[in-house]
Amino acid sequence: MSTFGGAASRPDFETAVLGELGLLYRVARRLAMNSTDAEDLVGQTLFSAARSWEGFDGRHTRSWLVTILKNQHLKSIRRKASRPKTVSIDDGGELSQGSLDAEIDRRAFVDDILRELDELPEDFRIAVALCDVEQMSYEDVAAALDIPIGTVRSRLFRGRRLLRERLKAWPSDYTAVDGADGKGKE
Amino acid sequence: MEGPLNKVADGTARGLGLWYTLSHVAHCPQCRRFLESLKAMIGKLHRAREVEPSEESVQRMLNAYRMSAPPGG
Ligand SMILES: [Zn+2]
């Protein structure tokens, strides 16, 4: 529950959204499927959010921004039914030499699990990205996607199941997510 | 059991539901393995949150918005 407690204490637009930029980029990346389009999507989201900022009540900024991001994504899909895919490499910024190896190992894993996540249908992909990667509450995700909480849960659980099935193909010492039947039934 | 186990795995199970599921897991190896592997996967997904856009990427996103913003707005 992040409210600004009245107009006097309300931060300016850029201050309010700057802290959410990482989340917006990661979610945009799950929707747009490449980093260039993800940056464009976030840029459009910020533009649209800035225009609505005056009328926004300041409650649940994160859900509000994700809603705008989702709507911009839908608009952009409608605008360009098909578009040549470009692949770009995300450079992670500056790294100290000492942490480079560990960072490469970590990145390799994160990139792998995100690549599998990106193979899921969009509804399930976004539910997992918002709930499990961004750790948003079911309530906030329901508000952001404008769907009932029960639908969030069912998409999330189904998405996890699909992701588990994809990860089962991995070596067990790498993933540590195999070994179960995948159903959790009696 | 899949729904209750999902709620235990992500920490949203509460009260009687939590108690019942944990009691079941205590004597059901199959559900215990499922819960452990689900928790492991969710833990790994949490780590993907550490991926931040680069400084250049942040600048490009902010510039895209600033350049398209109306003058004086
Ligand atoms: Zn069981």
The predicted structure's pLDDT at residue A186: 40
Predicted model pTM: 0.78
Q: Tell me what pLDDT residue A184 has.
A: 41
User: Which position has the higher pLDDT, A116 or A10?
Assistant: A116
Q: Higher model confidence: residue B70 or residue B26?
A: B26
Considering the four listed CATH numbers 2.60.120.10, 1.10.10.10, 3.30.530.20, 2.10.60.10, the one that applies to the domain covering A100-179 is: 1.10.10.10
- Pair B39, B26: CB distance under 8 Å: no
**CA A68, CA A75: separation in Å to the nearest integer?**
10
For chain A, the structural domain boundaries read: 13-79, 100-179
- On the question of pLDDT at A177 being above 60, the answer is no
Query: Which tens digit of pLDDT belongs to each residue from B27-71?
Result: 999 999 999 999 999 999 998 888 889 999 999 999 887 877 655
Weakest-pLDDT range from A16-20, A118-122, A125-129:
A16-20
> Which class for A107: exposed (0-12), middle (13-18), buried (19 or more C-beta within 10 A)?
middle
CATH number corresponding to A13-79: 1.10.1740.10
Average pLDDT over residues A24-45: 92
B34 closest CB neighbour out of A39, A134, A181: A181
Three-class secondary structure of residue A19 per DSSP: coil
Distance from residue B49's CA to the centre of ligand 1 (Å): 31
Q: What is the interface pTM, i.e. ipTM, of the complex?
A: 0.88
Q: Ligand 1 centroid vs A96 CA: distance in angstroms?
A: 47
Q: Which H/E stretch holds residue A4? A: none
**What is the radius of gyration, based on Cα positions, of chain A?**
18
Q: Dump pLDDT digits (tens) for A116-126.
A: 999 999 999 99
Q: Give the tokens for residue B26.
A: 């205590």
Q: Where are the domains of chain B?
A: 2-68
Note whether B14 contacts A: Cβ–Cβ < 8 A.
no
The amino acid at residue A155 is R
State chain A's mean pLDDT as an integer. Answer: 79
> B24 alpha carbon to ligand 1 midpoint, in Å?
6
Distance CA B41, CA A160 (A): 9
CA neighbor of A49 nearest in space, from A77, A26, A21, A27 = A21
Tokens coding A40: 């464009």
Interface test with A, best of B65, B66, B67 (most A CBs within 10 A): B65
